[in-house]
Amino acid sequence: MYTLIHQDSHCGARYGRLTTAHGNVELPAFMPVGTLGTVKGVEISQLQHTGTEMILGNTYHLSLRPGENVVKDLGGLHQFCGWQKPILTDSGGFQIFSLAEMRQITEEGAVFRSHIDGRKIELTPEQCVKIQESLGSDIAMVLDHVTGLPGDRKTLEEAMLRSVRWAKRCKEAADHPYQKLFAIIQGGLEPDLRRQCAEMLAEFDFSGYAVGGLSVGETPQEMYDALDFTLPYMPESKPRYLMGVGKPEDILHGILRGVDLFDCVIPTRNGRNAQAFTHSGTLRLRNAKYLRDDRPLDETCPCPACKRSRGYLRHLFIADEMLGPILLTIHNLTYYQRLVTGARNAIKQDRFVEYFRQYQEKPGPQEDRDETGND
């Protein structure tokens, strides 16, 4: 399933290939988030043109609406949404964290109140696996117990050990001809807990391993430190996935340390809110200075947004035209895919450190932050 092709001779960055029933994914890779079977505002053919090879769907949300059995009856998630390339489904574990006021945790699993209609929902490790098997994704994630950070040690340790026990139950329940199961390493910012979790999960020989429980309140440096003391204990022969991360600089920091796979809502959510990522910095297009700006967002970008002027794109947002969020979402996803494509090429040539440094030297996302005259 995973082939390590080359590791950069100057750092931990890895170029590899993930093989699934719906095709190969070149790693490192970024997965756009398609929580409900759609990357918001982007039609499948447009998504393919961004360079995306794999997307993410969410078990919890799809099980509520339209329901995993509806998706199964309509041919599975690939047929349902029209995406014929690889799909990874999250387990719903993050909702254990994000819906803290609406759930209870027991050893058996999590009990939720639906955020849609308030009805009671029980999610066990076994149910989590069966839902994902009904969805038919290529990669399924185990159910884990996510906690906030920094968190007290006792809480972190209890959640980590419960995550290991739940992962074992997921593995025992899995029964799908091609779906692969990834485990999730927890332990907060505690090096010994992360190491213990990684070593315990490695004994079960999952198809891949993820670092979970980050990007939930810690500083960027704390996240990088957590990767530094976790990655050495993750199997080198399996893909490594950093869940819910993110910002371009965080992705590059992860690649530098040996992470292979990423996902985050930032490029799509920020695009819907008039923020464009470019190789010369981040632009906030509602700013008045773009009113008569006839330049493209990025002269080197092939996306449809970059065939229009900054002034036109600003107009779309000020006029509340739906094309604005669509175009900027496509642009941001194209930017992210170009970022990881460049990373892969740099790794092949043993120059990822140089690539990383060049990114750090460009103008930062604060470029427009203090601009006056916003809408």
- Measured over the CA atoms of residue 151, residue 88, residue 275 and residue 295, the dihedral's sign is positive
> What tens digit of pLDDT does each residue of 42-56 get?
999 999 999 999 999
Q: Is residue 348 part of a domain?
A: yes
Q: Residue 369 above 70 pLDDT?
A: no
Tell me whether residue 1 is in a domain.
no
Inside any domain, residue 294: yes
Q: Could you write out the DSSP letters of every residue in 45-62?
A: HHHHHTT---EEEEHHHH
Mean pLDDT (the chain) is 93
Q: Evaluate whether residue 208 is within a structural domain.
A: yes
- Is the same domain home to 249 and 286? no
Question: Residue 18 above 90 pLDDT?
Answer: yes
Q: Which residues are catalytic?
A: 90, 263
Mean pLDDT of 221-227: 98
The boundaries of the domain holding residue 275 are 271-360
- Considering the domain architecture, whether residues 211 and 328 belong to the same structural domain is answered as no
Q: Which whole-number Å values give the CA distances from 358 to 41, 193, 221, 252, in the listed order?
A: 32, 35, 19, 11
Residues 40 and 187 in one domain: yes
Give the pTM.
0.94
pLDDT, tens digit (0-9, with 9 covering 90-100), for 295-319: 999 999 999 999 999 999 999 999 9
User: What DSSP string runs through 161-213?
Assistant: HHHHHHHHHHHHH---SS-EEEEEE--TT-HHHHHHHHHHHHTT--SEEEE-S
What pLDDT does 120 receive?
A: 82
Confidence (pLDDT) at 196: 98
Task: Classify residue 129: in a domain, yes or no.
Answer: yes
The CATH number that applies at residue 179 is: 3.20.20.105
Q: Provide the domain count of the chain.
A: 2
Single residue among 221, 246, 264 that ends a domain in this structure: 264
Partners of 29 in beta bridges: 261
Q: Say what the pLDDT of residue 371 is.
A: 34
pLDDT at residue 364 is higher than 90: no
Of residues 101 and 321, more confidently modeled: 321
Q: What's the rounded mean pLDDT across residues 274-295?
A: 96
pLDDT recorded at residue 116: 75
254 & 301 share domain: no
Within-domain flag for 159: yes
104 and 145 share one domain: yes
Same domain, 213 and 352: no
Report the pLDDT value the prediction gives residue 114, as an integer from 0 to 100: 75
Looking at the fold, whether 306 and 208 belong to one and the same domain comes out as no
Select from 235, 264, 293 the last residue of a domain.
264
**Residue range 75-87, pLDDT digits in tens:** 999 999 999 999 9
Choosing from 264, 285, 300, the residue where a domain stops is: 264
Q: What is the pLDDT of residues 253-267, one digit of tens each?
A: 999 999 999 999 999
pLDDT at 9: 98
pLDDT digits (tens, 9 = 90+) for 97-155: 666 566 788 999 988 777 777 788 889 999 999 999 999 999 999 999 988 888 899 99
* Percentage of the chain lying above the pLDDT 90 cut: 84
pLDDT at 40 over 90: yes
Q: Are residues 198 and 346 in the same domain?
A: no
Query: What's the pLDDT at 363?
Result: 63
Give yes or no: residues 86 and 139 share one domain: yes
- % of the chain with per-residue pLDDT over 70: 94
Does any domain span residue 7?
no
226 found inside a domain: yes
Indicate whether 326 pLDDT > 90. yes
Q: How far apart are the first and last CA of the chain?
A: 50
User: Do 182 and 221 lie in a common domain?
Assistant: yes
Distance in angstroms (rounded) separating the CA atoms of residues 87 and 66: 18
User: Which 8-state DSSP code applies to residue 81?
Assistant: H
Same domain? For 300 and 176 the reply is: no
Per-residue pLDDT averaged across 267-284, rounded? Answer: 96
Sorting pLDDT into bands at 50, 70 and 90, what band is 375?
very low
- Asked whether residue 34 falls in the same domain as residue 170, the answer is yes
Burial of 249 (0-12, 13-18, 19+ CB in 10 A): middle
